[in-house]
C-alpha cells in the first residue's frame, strides 16, 4: 500500500514515516505528485481541515494510492480552546513558530490565575482510492509553561509540558514525544486499522 502524506511540512512526513515503520506500507511525501497544493483551511474542526487537505492531494495522486492528511493543534482551556484550528497561524497568516508561541504566552499572561491546562489534538484522515474516508484521532494532555524551555521539536513544543512530566517536549526530545504525542496516539489507531486491513 502506498500512502502519500498530504503536507509540505518535512517534520510531519518524517514523524509519520517513523510512526508507520514496520507495517510494510510505502510512505511518500507529497513531492511524488509535484508537491502539496495550496489549501485554504476553512474548516471549523480538525477533521474538516484534514479532509480538505486529503481531497486536494487525492486529485493529484495515482488511482491506487491512499492519501493521509492530518490537522492538529493546541487547545488551551483558559483560552476557551484557542488556538485550536488556528494553531499554525495564531499570530497571523505568515506567523513563525516563535511568533505563535509569544502570542500564546501573552494571551495566557492576560488570563490571570486560570489553570494552564492544555492538550495537543490530532485528527488523521485516510482517503482511499475510491474516495472513502477514515478518521483517526489522538490527543496528549498537559499544560503550558510560563516560558520557553528546550530547543527540540517545533511549533509549541518548547512551551508544552505533557502530563506526568516536568519537562517540555522541547526538552524531552523526539523519542519521548513519539511515544506520547497526539499524532502518535492517532497513528496508533491508524496502525491498528491498517494491520486489520492487511
Yes or no: say if 168 and 158 are a contact pair by the CB < 8 Å rule: yes
Distances in whole angstroms, Cα of residue 63 to Cα of each of 2, 37, 75: 11, 18, 36
165: burial class by Cβ within 10 Å (0-12, 13-18, 19+)?
Answer: middle
SS3 60: coil
Alpha-carbon distance of 183 to 16, in angstroms, equals: 8
The active-site residue, picked from 71, 97, 113, 157, is: 71
Q: What are phi and psi of 192, to 5 degrees?
A: -60, -45
Yes or no: say if 138 and 122 are a contact pair by the CB < 8 Å rule: yes
Verify whether residue 71 is a known catalytic residue. yes
Just list the catalytic residues.
Answer: 71
Amino acid at each position: 500500500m502506498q500512502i502519500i502524506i498530504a503536507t509540505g511540512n518535512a517534520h510531519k512526513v518524517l514523524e509519520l514515516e517513523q510512526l508507520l515503520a514496520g507495517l510494510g506500507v510505502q510512505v511518500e511525501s507529497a513531492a511524488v505528485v509535484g508537491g502539496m497544493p495550496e489549501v485554504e483551511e476553512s474548516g471549523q474542526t480538525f477533521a474538516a481541515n484534514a479532509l480538505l487537505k486529503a481531497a486536494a492531494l487525492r486529485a493529484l495522486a495515482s488511482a491506487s494510492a491512499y492519501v493521509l492528511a492530518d490537522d492538529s493543534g493546541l487547545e488551551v482551556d483558559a483560552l476557551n480552546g484557542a488556538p485550536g484550528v488556528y494553531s499554525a497561524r495564531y499570530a497571523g497568516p505568515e506567523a513563525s513558530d516563535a511568533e505563535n508561541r509569544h502570542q500564546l504566552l501573552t494571551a495566557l499572561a492576560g488570563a490571570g490565575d486560570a489553570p494552564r491546562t492544555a492538550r495537543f489534538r490530532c485528527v488523521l484522515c485516510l482517503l482511499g482510492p475510491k474516495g472513502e474516508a477514515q478518521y483517526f484521532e489522538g490527543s496528549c494532555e498537559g499544560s503550558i509553561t510560563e516560558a520557553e524551555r528546550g530547543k527540540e521539536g517545533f511549533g509549541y513544543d518548547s512551551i508544552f509540558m505533557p502530563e506526568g512530566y516536568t519537562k517540555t517536549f522541547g526538552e524531552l526530545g523526539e523519542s519521548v514525544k513519539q511515544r506520547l504525542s497526539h499524532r502518535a496516539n492517532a497513528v496508533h489507531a491508524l496502525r491498528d486499522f491498517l494491520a486489520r486491513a492487511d
